[in-house]
A and B are shown apart, each in its own frame.
Chain A
Amino acid sequence: MPLPITFPPIDVPSEVPVLAVRPANWTSADASELARRLGVSDEPADTGLWLVARSDRAAVEVYQASQSFRFARLDLDGEAREGADRELSVDEAQQVGQAWIDEFGPRRARAHLHSVTEREVLVATDRRAEPRVILAGRDVNYRFEVEGLPLVGPGAKAQVSVHHSGDVAGAYCFWRHAEATRGVRTLAIDLMLERFARSDAFADLTEATARVEVRSGRFGYLCLPPTEPMGALVPSLELRGTISTEAQPRYDFVTYVAATEIDDAEGKRARLANARPALLQA
């Protein structure tokens, strides 16, 4: 028997704007200015994927393929091995994170708080004793929206990592300048789900060996890692669900399905890099 998959109700707009990506075109002067604002005065070096300004205290890495960048303090221990003598509160972390994102976040998108998570270290010195738990800091995580629609995937997010002392220990802002151009019709939801169900991922599974449940689905623009060039953000259906098999009773997955018809030749003629990224399952 073919594998049945259950889906919840999913709404997708019938037409969405194409979000064309403006090339990054970082210059050494741009990277130098950003590094200076982040407190690193050393000149950036071109290391291929990145322009990197680095001092003994901190590093700034600019991703040449997008408008993304990363800041990291190099003089703070990532495992808080010096000891964390105070517990950083969620509220304090959030205030530090918001101040950073207000100053360094993108101007052309709405950053909204997604979560505040723990940066946790466990240390064990004896196999019979409970490990020591250290809260090394908290990460304040943001996601972005453009034109009121969410950006999904690894390449559209920001994080401010707040050290237990209250200092910013590191941060990144993964982002591409995207502008709405023409509108494009989305595929019928039934067609998207059918393509997902027929994908190679499920080819060898049957009703007798597996159970698949999609718990949620939403429309968003897929953004690739900040190291990868993109000509346009990819209209996608983000699906989250669970697969159960004997070998793996609960495998929670997140996957992406193209929400518009992608014509590879047309993408090439339009000089769109990564028009059909490998992250799309169907």
Chain B
Amino acid sequence: MGTIGIEWVQKYNGLQLNLSNTKAQAEGFYNTLSATRRFNWGDDLAWDQDFEQSGEGSPSTGTDTTWADDVDFVFFSGHGSPSGFLFGKKLDDAKAKPTEITWGDRQLEWIALDACDVLARDGVFDRWGWPVFNGLHMILGFDTTTGDEPDRGRLLAQYLNAGWTVREAWIRACQDTEDSDTQWAYLRADAQGTDTYHDHWWGKGAVSSDPLNPTTLFYARAAC
């Protein structure tokens, strides 16, 4: 059985608009997916450094090998932008930035960044592609703004439990919960001998070996 963790932010402490449904959304994923649950950090206990690589950036406080990169699937729910996803507790700069992130060198296969604009099309390979993928299979996110809604995490988990592939499950969960002005997106990597297109959740179908040195990156987007 795979391992999962979630982080979510509702209280932004004046840094940004507060959100109402990120806790329900992330915990819906956490409490529904057939998985071993490792961590659930919310509001002031959700930190950007949980996603960042040790030794990267300034200050170099990253602890991803303890948290985000120590499980198979992470779900983050909060604000975002093309240059990172945002937290309410300013320990570092309250933003997890791709320049301080390398995922998959320990454990992480999939991450859902349920936040606005993180996977905006222009420059996505340079931001979130080549520098970030180091064994990671797929990032799920949005090309556009997305809504503050409570159901998407649970539905993603239910589609995964039902045996849909990771990409199919994400597209379905987004279409079920957004209007068609929102654009879902994902970014995935393949290397010699890998096939992340057909990835399923652990125990529900085929899972590719890790693309440790990606040779091809795929980005897809469309209307919800």
Contact = CB atoms under 8 A, between A and B. Distances in A.
Contacts of A255: 147-148
B18 to A, nearest CB: 5
Interface stretch (A23-31, A82-90, A115-123, A260-268): A115-123
B219 interface: yes
A152 interface: yes
Contact of A202 (B17, B155, B168, B178): B17
A201 B18 contact: yes
A120 B222 contact: yes
Given A157-B180, A247-B16, A121 B223 contact: no
A280 to B, nearest CB: 9
Nearest to A68: B176
A111 B40 CA distance: 42
Contact of A251 (B79, B130, B181): B79
Interface in B162-205: 162, 167-168, 172, 175-181, 183, 197
B92 interface: no
Interface stretch (B57-65, B68-76, B121-129): B121-129
A248 B81 contact: yes
Nearest to A212: B17
B122 to A, nearest CB: 10
A172 B149 contact: no
B220 A78 contact: yes
Nearest to B221: A120
B16 A248 contact: yes
Given A79-B220, A125-B216, A247-B16, A227 B151 contact: yes
Contacts of B180: 114-115, 117, 139, 141, 143, 157, 159
Contact of B218 (A79, A119, A224): A79
Given A124-B129, A131-B219, A245-B16, A251 B162 contact: no
Contact of A201 (B19, B151, B177, B224): B19
A14 interface: no
Given A204-B14, A254-B179, A70 B150 contact: no
Contacts, number: 158
Interface in B58-111: 79, 81, 86, 94-95
B172 A228 contact: no
B12 A225 contact: no
A154 B179 contact: yes
Contacts of A203: 18
A50 B197 CA distance: 24
Contact of B95 (A50, A161, A247): A247
A119 B222 contact: yes
Interface string A169-205: 0001010000000000000000000000000111111
B151 A228 contact: yes
Contacts of A152: 179
Contacts of B175: 154, 159, 172
Contacts of A136: 220
A247 B222 contact: no
Contacts of A251: 16-17, 79, 116, 145
A273 interface: no
A47 B20 contact: no
Given A49-B158, A152-B179, A172-B175, A247 B15 contact: yes
B162 A139 contact: no
Contacts of B212: none
A157 B181 CA distance: 11
A10 to B, nearest CB: 19
A279 to B, nearest CB: 6
A227 B129 contact: no
A146 interface: no
A154 B17 contact: no
Residue in A118, A122, A209, A245 with the greatest tally of chain B CB atoms within 10 Å: A122
Contacts of A157: 179-180
A120 B143 CA distance: 11
21 contacts: A81-B197, A118-B222, A119-B222, A120-B121, A121-B218, A127-B125, A131-B217, A141-B223, A154-B177, A154-B224, A159-B175, A205-B17, A227-B176, A247-B15, A247-B94, A251-B116, A253-B148, A254-B147, A255-B148, A278-B20, A281-B148
